């Protein structure tokens, strides 16, 4: 009975799917980027002598330097993946078995 309710919902529009995926991708990078910055900085400092170690900037704008390009790229990637989600491509009708799909491989010459 619960499956009937799920199937009755209208499918979200393409624009809504792309916006949702893009927003999720941007938020993901905005949250994880400072951790990546800290990890990279600590890895670099481990290999440098004490006199050459890079100082830790105060948390804020400096921790997000270079993040804009990554946010844009990840937003586009996540938006496109959400629009062309594999679940939508492989979804079968209720009560039907999903058909196995074969990948055609190029023949060796």
Query: What does the pLDDT read at residue 103?
Result: 58
31-79 pLDDT, tens digit per residue, is: 998 888 889 888 888 888 888 888 888 888 888 888 888 899 989 888 8
Q: Which residues contact 70 (CB under 8 A, 6 or more apart)?
A: 29, 33
Encode 14-45: b = buried (16+ Cβ within 10 Å), e = exposed.
Answer: eeebbbebbeebbeebeeebeeebeeebeeee
73-94 pLDDT, tens digit per residue, is: 989 888 888 777 655 555 556 6
Nearest-5° angle of CA 47, CA 50, CA 54? Answer: 75
Cα torsion 64, 23, 36, 56 to 10°: value is 20
């Amino acid at each position: 009975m619960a499956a009937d309710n799920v199937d009755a919902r209208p499918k979200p529009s393409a624009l809504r799917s792309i916006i949702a995926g893009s927003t999720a991708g941007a938020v993901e990078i905005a949250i994880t980027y400072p951790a990546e910055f800290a990890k990279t900085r600590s890895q670099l400092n481990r290999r440098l002598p004490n006199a050459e170690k890079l100082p830790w900037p105060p948390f804020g704008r400096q921790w997000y330097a270079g993040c804009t390009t990554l946010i844009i790229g990840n937003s586009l990637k996540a938006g496109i993946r959400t629009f062309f989600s594999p679940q939508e491509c492989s979804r079968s009708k209720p009560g039907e078995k999903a058909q196995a799909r074969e990948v055609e491989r190029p023949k060796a010459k």
